[in-house]
Amino acid sequence: MIGLGKMLTIEILFEKMEAIDLEEVITIEQASFSSPWTKEMFYSEFFDNPLSFSYVARSDDQVIGYLFFWEVVGELHLMNIAVAGLYRRKGIAQRLIEKMIEIGRGRAISKIFLEVRAANVQALSLYQKLHFYQIGIRKNYYHSPKEDAIVLQYNFGPNEICHFERSEKS
C-alpha cells in the first residue's frame, strides 16, 4: 500500500513487465526524460536482449513505474527507471530498486552499478539511502542537456553497510 494523501492509499503490485506494458512504459519515459529512450530501444531491450530484466509497478491495471536492468557476469547494471509524475516521491522507485536488489540476492549477484545525472539530487539521495556509493564520474555522459554522470555501486554482503557509512561521513 502506498499513501497518496491524508486518506487515500492505493495497492501497488511489483511484477515482471509484459509486452502489453510497453506503450505505457514509453509514455512514462517520454514524460520523464529530456533524452528519452526511443520505442525501438524499448522493444529491442524487451524482446531481443537476453541479459535484460524488466519490472513494472502497477496500480489498478495501470503501469505507474518501471525499471530495466542487465545481468552480466555476476553483476547487475541498472539501465533505466522512471515513475509516472503523479506517483513520484511515494516510495515507488525505492520499491522497484529493492525488487532488483532482492532478485540480485537470489541470483548470487555481487554488485550493482548505475549512472545518474550529477544534478539529479533526488535520485542520488535515494540511491545513497539504499546503500549505493560513488565510484566515479563519466564526463559529459548525458546530452540534452550535456552533463556528467555519477557512477554508483552497491555491494551485496557484509561490505554494503560499511560502504554506505563511509559515504555518509564524506
Residue numbers annotated as active site: 115, 127
DSSP reduced 3-state for 6 = coil
Map 95-162 to HEC letters: HHHHHHHHHHHHCCCCEEEEEEECCCHHHHHHHHHCCCEEEEEEEEEECCCCEEEEEEEEECCCHHHH
Q: How distant is the alpha carbon of residue 2 from its chain centre?
A: 18
- Three cell numbers, residue 106: 537470489
Rg (CA), the chain: 16
Partners of 63 in beta bridges: 58
